Amino acid sequence: MTSTMGLLTRERQTPPHSEAALLRPYIPSDKRTLLRLLHMLDIRYPCGLSWLDRRLDDVRDGRARCTVAISAGVIVAAMIETPKGQGHVKLSTVWVDPLFRRRGIGTRLFETAIRRWCREAVESAWFTVGLRYCDDLVRVVRPFGFELVGLAAYRYWEDDCELVLSWSPERSYAE
C-alpha cells in the first residue's frame, strides 16, 4: 500500500516547468475569461456554457470551488469541484488551454486538489469524461490513483459514452 501523499511525491512529480503557473481560487471578475477559455463546453455538452455560467455563480456563492492557473498574467487553466454530500467531490471540469499543455499545469491542479482532499478527509472524488476526449486526462490522473469505475452510455450524445473515474485516499497502488 502506498499512501496518497507518498504517491504525490514519488510517482507524479510536478515538472519544474509548471513553476511558471500560479494557482489561485476563482474570483467573480474571472467569469468572462473562463467563459472564453471553456468555450468547448458548448460543443461537448448540451447548453455547456449556460451550465458553466450557473456553476461559476455557485462558486461565487460558496456552493462549488474553482481553482484557476495563471501564466504570464493570463488564466490558462481551471478546475471546478462540486461537493456532493459530506466527504464526496465531483470534478465538474478540468481544462488547460491547449497552448499551455504539457507544462505540468494539469498535474499541478490535480496535485493541489488531492493534497487538499487529504487534509479535508474527502472520501471520494470522481469525474466523467467523454470516451473520445479521455486520453490526455486519463494519462494525467492515473498516477494519482484515479480508476475507471464505470461507463455512462449515451449520457450526452447518441454516439459517445462517458467514462467515470474515481479516486479515494485509501486506494492501494501496485509498487
Ligand X SMILES: CC(C)(COP(=O)(O)OP(=O)(O)OC[C@H]1O[C@@H](n2cnc3c(N)ncnc32)[C@H](O)[C@@H]1OP(=O)(O)O)[C@@H](O)C(=O)NCCC(=O)NCCS
Q: Which residues bind ligand X (CB under 6 A)?
A: 15, 17, 93-96, 101-107, 127, 129, 133, 136-137, 139-140
| 121 versus 143: smaller Cβ distance to ligand X | 143
| 15 versus 25: smaller Cβ distance to ligand X | 15
Q: How far is the CB of 103 from ligand X (least distance, A)?
A: 5
Contact assessment for residue 68 and residue 77, using Cβ atoms and an 8 Å cutoff: yes
Q: How far is the CB of 136 from ligand X (least distance, A)?
A: 4
Q: How far is the CB of 7 from ligand X (least distance, A)?
A: 14
Report the residue closest to ligand X, judged by CB.
106
CB atoms < 10 A from the CB of 132, how many? 11
Q: Is the dihedral of CA 11, 124, 19, 40 positive or negative?
A: positive
Q: Which amino acid is at 175?
A: E
Q: How far is the CB of 80 from ligand X (least distance, A)?
A: 9
CA distances (Å), origin 175, targets 12, 110, 111, 118, 131: 14, 21, 20, 21, 28
